[in-house]
Structures are given as C-alpha cells and as structure tokens.
Structure 1
Amino acid sequence: MIDAEKTIGNLIDKAGVSFIGSVDSEGFPNMKAMLPPRKREGIKYLYFTTNTSSMRVSQYKEKPNACVYFCDKRFFRGVMLKGTMEVLEDSHSKEMIWREGDTMYYPLGVTDPDYCVLRFTASSGRFYSNFKSENFEVD
C-alpha cells in the first residue's frame, strides 16, 4: 500500500502539467491540459486558476463531477484523482492563489470578472506505478 499523501503529493508537486476532466451536457468526458495547481492542501484539495468564461467553468457549474490526472513520464507512473470541482469567485479565494504576472491572463487584475478559482475536492484515486495500479480513498 502506498503512502498516498506523500507519494502522490510529490508527483503533483513535480508535474509540469495537470489534466482536468469534466462532463459535458451530453454526458461525455472532456479533458484539458492545465498548469499545475497553484495550491494544494494534502491531496484532498487542489486549486487552479481559469477564465470564468471558459467552457470548463460552465460544465462544472452544471455538473461538478471531475477528475484530475498527473503523470511522471520519466518513471512512467501516474495518478487519477476523482471528486468534484467547485467554481469559486469570491475575493478571498481569488487573492489566495493570485501571482505576480497573472495580469497576462487576467488584465483587470485580481478583481477581473473573467478570473476565477477552481477548487477540486478529491474523494478517491487510482495510482499506477511499476506495471500495477492501486485504488485508494482520500480522507
């Protein structure tokens, strides 16, 4: 049994890319490559920045079921976390993960109405390494 918090936390921290999944109005899965999370609280909560006007935001508002995938291509291992995605538009959440240079994406700054935070809450996961997979729960 893996130490999920440590092993997966390290994988997330080293990943240069995150893949997030949503469900469209026809019930099909949609995947998107994103920058890594701006913040994480263990492996339970992950925070991403995105545009409020994005297709993904409207999908999460309609159906919050989500997954996030991280991979380490060097060692050919990866983790999928399943859970829900919330769209946060309050000033506290936006300020919490804002970084210098974000005006490149959100020209009106931290109060830009087209800037929001996606908070992923993991409930379970599946870790692949050394030619085997293992399911785990996230507390």
Structure 2
Amino acid sequence: ISDVQTNSAVSVYYCGPETRRGVMFGGNIEIVDDLAAKKGLWQEGWERYYPKGHDDPDHTVLRLMPTNAKGWTGSMTFELELGDTQ
C-alpha cells in the first residue's frame, strides 16, 4: 500500500488462454476507505487471510481509474485511449 501512496500508476492484465483473448488496463489506482464498499466486496473464506474480517486493517480495497486499454482476440489487436476517468 505504501507503494500505491507513493506512485499510483499501474497496469492490470487479464488473459483467457483458452479463448486466446486478453486485455491490459493502464491508469491510476486509489485506496478506497469506504467501509460499505469493503463490506460489499467481502467474500466468504477471506477470513483465512484477514482474521478480523472486513474490518481487518490489512484488508484494502483499491479502485482502478483506467486511462487506456490494450488487448487482443485471436490474431487481432486493439488499443483504446479512455481519457480522464476521475
């Protein structure tokens, strides 16, 4: 989390190898302090990693604000500029 506070620029990548499709979003992330969001996103079983539940100080929610996307599907590629999402 200290890295995010110092530099919020990130990229997030997803690939579906069985479909030969993938996408990468680039942009910035921010820490979400909203307890309702933390409760709403909470999944059963996460107690294993966050023993105090959604109130655990180590349980952190991040919000991605993408500015661009790159990806492919089969042999085709694409690139999009998404602009300012704040």
Does the TM-score normalized on the shorter chain lie above 0.5? yes
Q: Which runs of 5+ in 2 are unaligned?
A: none
User: Counterpart of 1:122 in structure 2: which amino acid?
Assistant: P
Matched, 1:110 2:32: no
User: Counterpart of 2:38 in structure 1: which amino acid?
Assistant: K
TM-score normalised by structure 2 residue count: 0.83
1:84 corresponds in structure 2 to 28
Question: Within 2, Cα distance between the matches of 1:95 and 1:124?
Answer: 29
Secondary structure at the counterpart of residue 50 of structure 2: coil
User: Counterpart of 1:137 in structure 2: which amino acid?
Assistant: E
Cα RMSD for the two superposed structures:
1.6
Q: Which runs of 5+ in 1 are unaligned?
A: 1-56
Aligned length: 83
Question: Within 2, Cα distance between the matches of 1:131 and 1:73?
Answer: 13
2:63 corresponds in structure 1 to 119
Of structures 1 and 2, the one with the larger relative CO (CA 8 A, separation 6+) is: 2
Q: CA deviation at 1:73?
A: 0.2
Deviations 1:78-120 (A, max 9, x none): 1111111111233122112112222111001111111110111
Matched, 1:135 2:71: no
Identity rate, percent: 31
Moved beyond 6 Å, runs of 4+: none
TM-score normalised by structure 1 residue count: 0.54
Deviations 1:31-61 (A, max 9, x none): xxxxxxxxxxxxxxxxxxxxxxxxxx22111
